[in-house]
Structure formats: structure tokens, C-alpha cells
Structure 1
Amino acid sequence: MNQRRLTGIDAARGIALLGMIATHVLPLYNQETGDPSLTGLVFSGRSSALFAVVAGVGLALLTGGSEPHEAKAVNRDRRGIAVRALIIALVGLILGGLETTIAVILFHYAVLFLLALPFLGMPLRRLAVWAGAWLLLSPVLAYVVRDWLIRNLSPSDINGNITWEAFLSPAALAADVFVTGFYPVLQWLSYILLGLVIGRLALTSLPVQVGLLTGGVFAAVTAKLISNYLLGELGGFDVLRATESGQQWPLARMLEVNLSSVEQTGSWWWLALSGPHSNTSLDMLHTAGAAAAVLGVCLLLTRARPLLLLPLSAAGAMTLTLYSLHVWIMTMVDQQSPPLEPMPVYWIQVAILVVLAVLFQRIDARGPLELVTSGASRLARGKGGRTSAPARQKR
């Protein structure tokens, strides 16, 4: 297997893409009973987290994988990744200006790439310490800062997708991107750092692949058990229901699907949540563990047969193009009256996107947006960036 193009990683990225599309198209709650739907229970929170973790793995592979590039080459890598991030941010701003109900992730994704630049040349052990510390401490800092922002900054978020107009309110934009928005990069950097740690491992190794699966499952289950104990046995959930937000929202159901709308202020017990998009340590430990397990499964399945998951890996190799196409399609779908049935809309989109991806893969071509980003990245790296010797691995 080629470490630079492991089809299992592409397949995991493809799963993240199709899972995110499912949360955009299919209902997260049963319209008759109000109970969480299967889509909400399985994909909400986990798909976007998988997308971010695999992004970190990709950054690690771009900078040498298990044999990191030497210092001069890493500096060239940083230039290339910075240009890549700027192009992704531009695409995100364009998509954010469309009439859509989708929370477009790309601008935040680009900011995460830029924030990851200082970590790219870091030895594995130090990187792992940073990743663990960031996962544990960033939600605490976010809780403190969020409360201050809500009380002192009006507005404290953009209230929608980020567009060019958002730059006219720089304070609200910064608050939204880092703390108060749908994808707060203060906490989400944890996913990128954990992905970098995973990408520095020998991903072609069978013990590593099995370790990702078993360790990921253990982390995901442990996070849920700890959260359930804190909220149930220790009474944290009753305290949260007594807060202003707890009285405003049906927390019991939202805990299973999506907590992004809930203003998590008024009690430190909010940090005991593990529900989707609560962005707590336990939420990120659970979703990152699930992401590691999915990566492990995909790497194991493609270990002997790289093309076994071709529909997923082909889609995962051109997610920027396919994600953008999906958002554009949904702008038209959302305007239909009466509304279209979500299930056919989902499967028709999946079929179109997967067939398109497989066709591009068969003719050995990149997606249009991938071609632009990779070309600009190579120009920014300059000569010699791809042939530099790896540095000695420090653990």
C-alpha cells in the first residue's frame, strides 16, 4: 500500500461525506413522535468529527506520515497547506452565500488547517501530549469564554453561514469561528491534532490498524459510560434541566442528536455531556474514538484489496468537489414546493456523487477543486518539496 494514498483513509473520508449528507437531507427526528431518527442517532456529530479527524490524518501524510519530513521540507509543507487552506476558505465563503440550511464546514475547516501549521513538525510523543491536553482543556476554556462573550458581545455569533459580509463584524466573526458557532475551532482543533497523531503511526501495519479499531471502540464506549454516570448517578442532568437553557430545550432528546442550538451556560455540568455537537471533552473523546474505529475498519478491509471499498474511497478522494456540489444541489432542493421526499433525494444524490467519483478515479483524474488546491499547493511549496528526505522519527 502507498502511504500517500491509502484507499482505506479515502474510504473513511467517503463515509464522513455521505454521513454528513445524510444529516443534511434526512430528518434527525421522527416527525410524528419526536423521537430521534436512525440518521440522527448514527451520523449526527460523528460524521463531521470523522471528517475532521481524517483531515488531520491527511495533514500528517502530506508531511511524511510515519517518517516526517525534515525541518526545511516541513516549512515548504506549511506554505502549501496554508495556500490550500485559503482556497478552501474561499470555497466556503462562496457556499456560505448560497440560500441553504446547511451549516457549511469549509471556512472552519480552513482555519483548522492554519491552526495546525505549528504542530506539523512536532515529534509524535509531544504531539500526542498536545492532542490529549487540548481535548481535555479546550472545552473548559470555551465554557468560560462563551459565557463572557454572550454577556458582553452583541451579537456573539454570525447567526448563519460565514459570508463576505461577516468580515464587517470582526468581533462577532472571531467569536463565531472560535467559540460560539456550529463548528467551534477552539475545541475542534482536538480532532485535527488527534488525526495528526494517527497519521504519524505506521498505518500499513496490521497491529496499528487493529489498535485503531479496538482503541477507538474503547474510547467511544468509555466516554458514553462516564457521561451517563455523571449525568445520571451524580445528578448532573437534573441540574442542567433547571438551567435557563435546560428549561427552554427538550434536552433528553437533543442529547442523542444535536446540542448545537443549546446555550451551554449557567452550570459546569454542561461539561459532562457527550451528546453530538456539545463539543465537550467527552463528546470529542466519543466521536474521535468512533472516527478511529471507522479508520481501523476501512484500513483492515482494504489491506489486501485496496479497491474493495471503491465507491467510498473514490468519493473520499474528491470530497471538496462533491461536498460543494451537494451544497449547491440542496439550494435547489430546498426551494421546491411542496418539499421533496428526503429519502429519494438522499439516494439520488449519493448515486450521482459516487458514480461521478468512480468515473474520475477510473480516468485517473482529480476532482476540479482538488486539482486547483493541489496545484496551488505545489506552487507554494516550491521546488524540492516532494523529494526531501524524511527526518528521523522522534517518539
Structure 2
Amino acid sequence: MTSHGTAPQQEGAGAGPVSARLKGIDAARGAALLGMMSTHLMPTFGPSPQWEPTFVGLVFSGRSSALFAVLAGVGLALSTGKQEPRSGAGLWAARGGVALRALVIAVVGFVLGGLDVNVAVILVHYALLFLCVLPFLGLRLKALCFLAFGWILASPVLAYLVRPLLLDATPPLQLGHNPKAEDLETPGRLLADLFFTGYYPVFQWISYLLVGLAIGRLALTTAKVQLLLLAGGTVVAVVAKAAGFLAMESWGGRAALEALPGTRGYPLESMLQVNLTGLQQVDSWWWLATAAPHAGTTLDLLHTGGTAAAVVGLFLLLGTVAERAKVNFLILLSGPGAMTLSLYSAHVWVVSGFTNKPLPAGWTPEGMYWAQAIAAIIIGAFFSLLRRRGPLEWVAHQASRLGSYRPAAVG
């Protein structure tokens, strides 16, 4: 089982009943969940010494987690006014709801972080991302677009400058494991890992939520916007990936990185296609020219953010088709997509039972994946047909209601 995983996220404070949600958004989240599960359970690299990337590694690594983060931003936008953001007391109430929802997600994340599991659990990072975007929930579309683009350009450079200072500290300000409750005893190290030195650097990942907020401020029910997301996201993703390939393979980037002491012995050619986990990405500005998954560079953020936008556009179009045909064929994805916090947590718990242990006789990683994927689809569809939230979604929703409550004025 591989260690690079993602985690799901639900809509922001005040999310409406399941029946009122955009099915395309839930379906996109369900697709991301299944893609994430594949990277947890199936190999992303072939056997040594070639270490050739597998289909799962090439297609899903890095993209599923980015899609979840972008969808988190979309959900926040939908729950805070859609095209017209809330203001005044309504905005502050929404922020309170988002903050308490983030607290629930963080608690679940710390619990999962205490498991012995080789999955990079992202829930604590997601909770922190929710808190970080609270100041931006009242921004309109134009401001969000400029802010998102600026963050995508600047945050990787600033992170590249800050990261070596944190890694050179004694001891290094990096966890090397999933965040867990015990790490609260060393808050400086925990925050440094969450923001800069860990697997999902929140500082750069704020870009995804800003992109999602901007998408959520669009008229998502119109075919024009859906096609724009699909076409525009595809173009951005292709151009960013092509630029990264040229920088590495044609302009000398990979050769320069392979010469660094910290990369010797690593199959860098394959890692640039799948995942840069394990490499510190220091001592060369060429690191900023890669579009590799989980690189956290401008090109990586553009590629994965563009891919996420295209997927959102595609599933919104499919949702429109399903609505007009009056056939809910998206339920196989929208069902699990509406309760990903519960399903993701259950998935991580199940995977922990097989970590560092042989699989049961007759089972393969592929079989384990399909068993869990089918179970997730059945459970999600069942809850959807009953019009019920998942158990953890219910808890998060109640927390959101509590946080957004404002007593009525008297007199």
C-alpha cells in the first residue's frame, strides 16, 4: 500500500439538505474519493530497479487531493452566498459555522493520525485550510480570481525560501508522520509541518481553496459556465504540464536536480511523474520549475487546479444531463461524494488493519481496492436514497449550525 493519499472535505457552514445539493459537485467529490483510495491501495510505481509509474500513479496521484481541496472551496462559496457573498452579520455567522466544522474535522484527523497506517492523512491540514480562508469568504469573484492567481505565483517561492530554515533547525521542524494529538505538545513543530515541511503544505494549498471559492461564485447551473470550466481547466492543465516537462527534460532541469546530493539514488524521472515525497526540494531553484504531483510549485498548482476545474465542469454537465433526463445515474458517485468524511475515515481505519501485515489469502491490492470502492458506492447510494447525512457529516453539520447561531435581537 502506498503512502500518498488525500482526504475528503464537505461543504462549508450552513450546507443545505442533501436533496438540495448540486449533484455534479457531489459526484466530482465521489470520483476524487475513489481515485484517492486507489493511490492508497494499489502501487503507484512498478518494481525496482525500473520504478516505472503505474496507471494509478500517472492518473490519480496528486490530482485527487487537489480536486478535494478545490471542491472544499466550492462548497464554502455555495454555503456563503453563491454568486453574491454574504456580508455583515450573516458573513460572521457563516465564519463561525465554518470554524466549528473545521474543529470537528481536525479532531477526526488527529484520531486517524494516531493509527498505524501508511496513508498520508490530510484532515488536520484541511481543517487548517478552512480557518485560513475565513478572511476571504466575503470576497467577490473578481477579487478572488486576482488573489488566487497571485497566491499560486507567490506562495511556492516564499515556501521555497522558508522551508530550508525550518528543516535546518535543531531538531528539524518536520513531523515525519501524520499529525496526531501528541503533536499538540510541540505546536511550533506541528504548525511548521502543516504549513511548509509536511506532505500537504497548507501555505501553498490555500491556492486550491481560493480557486474553489472563485468557481463557486460562478453561475454553476448554466451550461456556458460548465463548458468554460471544462475547456479552460483542460487548457491550463495541459499548458502547465507541458511547461514542466520542457523545463525538466529539454532545458536541463532534471539533470541539474539529479546532480544534487539529496536526490542521488532516487528514480527522479519516475518521481517527477508521480510524486516527489521523500525529497526535500532544496538547494536548487530548478525545483520551482517542476509540474510534478505534490511538488507544491506554481506549475503543479496550475496543473492540478486546472484539472480540478475541468472535472468540476464535466460533472456539472453530467448533472445537467441527468436532471433533464430525469435519471439519477450519478448516484453511484454523488452518493459517496455526499458523505466522504465518513467513508474516508472508515477507509483509513480499514487500511490500518492491514498496514505492515500480509493481505488475507487470495486477496490482492486490486481486489482490496474494488471491495472498498464497491462498499463505498453502496453505502453512499443507500444514504442518498434515504436522504440522510453520513454520521460524521451529521456531527459536522450540527457543529456548523452551532457555530453560525446568532440569537435574535430583542426589542
Which digits, 9 at most, give the CA deviation of each residue in 1:76-111, with x for residues without a partner? 000000000000000000000011111001000000
1:322 aligns with 2:343: yes
- Mapping for residues 196-207 of structure 1, pairs under 5 Å: 196-207=213-224
Q: Aligned partners of 2:108, 2:308: CA distance in 1, in Å? A: 25
Q: Does the Cα contact within 8 Å between 2:57 and 2:274 map onto a contact in 1?
A: yes
Distance change in 2, residues 1:335/1:260 (3 Å): closer
1:152 aligns with 2:173: no
Distance change in 2, residues 1:18/1:40 (3 Å): same
2:101 to 76, 84, 103: 84
Deviates more, 1:67-76 or 1:263-272: 67-76
User: What is the CA-CA distance between 1:3 and the residue it aligns to?
Assistant: 11
Match of 1:388 in 2: none
Q: Aligned partners of 1:34, 1:113: CA distance in 2, in Å? A: 36
Q: Aligned partners of 2:45, 2:191: CA distance in 1, in Å? A: 32
Which digits, 9 at most, give the CA deviation of each residue in 1:30-73, with x for residues without a partner? 22652111000000000000010001000101101112223221
Q: Aligned partners of 2:113, 2:402: CA distance in 1, in Å? A: 27
The TM-score with structure 2 as length reference comes to: 0.90
Q: Does the Cα contact within 8 Å between 2:113 and 2:179 map onto a contact in 1?
A: yes
Q: Aligned partners of 1:350, 1:283: CA distance in 2, in Å? A: 27
- Mapping for residues 1-395 of structure 1, pairs under 5 Å: 5-31=21-47, 33-306=50-323, 307-334=328-355, 336-338=357-359, 340-383=363-406
User: What is the CA-CA distance between 1:353 and the residue it aligns to?
Assistant: 1.1
Q: Does the Cα contact within 8 Å between 1:3 and 1:65 map onto a contact in 2?
A: no
Q: Does the Cα contact within 8 Å between 2:332 and 2:381 map onto a contact in 1?
A: yes
* Residue identity matched to 1:310: I
Q: Aligned partners of 1:168, 1:48: CA distance in 2, in Å? A: 28
Point out where structure 2 has 5 or more consecutive residues left out of the alignment: 1-17
Deviates more, 1:333-342 or 1:83-92: 333-342
Q: Aligned partners of 2:26, 2:87: CA distance in 1, in Å? A: 26
Match of 2:4 in 1: none
Deviates more, 1:135-144 or 1:59-68: 59-68
Q: Does the Cα contact within 8 Å between 2:244 and 2:290 map onto a contact in 1?
A: yes
User: What is the CA-CA distance between 1:152 and the residue it aligns to?
Assistant: 2.3
Which digits, 9 at most, give the CA deviation of each residue in 1:195-215, with x for residues without a partner? 000000000011100000000
Match of 1:393 in 2: none
Point out where structure 1 has 5 or more consecutive residues left out of the alignment: 386-395
Q: Aligned partners of 2:113, 2:162: CA distance in 1, in Å? A: 26
Q: Does the Cα contact within 8 Å between 1:220 and 1:289 map onto a contact in 2?
A: yes
Q: Tell me the secondary structure at the aligned position of residue 31 of structure 1.
A: coil
Q: Does the Cα contact within 8 Å between 2:93 and 2:405 map onto a contact in 1?
A: yes
User: What is the CA-CA distance between 1:335 and the residue it aligns to?
Assistant: 5.3
Q: Aligned partners of 2:289, 2:198: CA distance in 1, in Å? A: 20
User: What is the CA-CA distance between 1:329 and the residue it aligns to?
Assistant: 0.7
User: What RMSD, in angstroms, separates the aligned Cα atoms of the two structures?
Assistant: 1.6
Which digits, 9 at most, give the CA deviation of each residue in 1:118-167, with x for residues without a partner? 00001211111111000110000000001111122422211100111112
Q: Aligned partners of 2:122, 2:52: CA distance in 1, in Å? A: 26
Deviates more, 1:227-236 or 1:297-306: 227-236
Q: Aligned partners of 2:55, 2:284: CA distance in 1, in Å? A: 30
User: What is the CA-CA distance between 1:383 and the residue it aligns to?
Assistant: 4.8
* Residue identity matched to 2:373: V
Q: Tell me the secondary structure at the aligned position of residue 120 of structure 2.
A: coil
Match of 1:392 in 2: none
Match of 2:11 in 1: none
* Residue identity matched to 2:343: L
Deviates more, 1:25-34 or 1:265-274: 25-34
Q: Tell me the secondary structure at the aligned position of residue 324 of structure 1.
A: helix
Which digits, 9 at most, give the CA deviation of each residue in 1:246-304, with x for residues without a partner? 32421101001110211100111100000111110100100011101111110001103
Q: Aligned partners of 2:170, 2:144: CA distance in 1, in Å? A: 34
Match of 1:390 in 2: none
| Matched positions, count | 384
* Residue identity matched to 1:372: V
Q: Aligned partners of 2:315, 2:407: CA distance in 1, in Å? A: 32
Match of 1:391 in 2: none
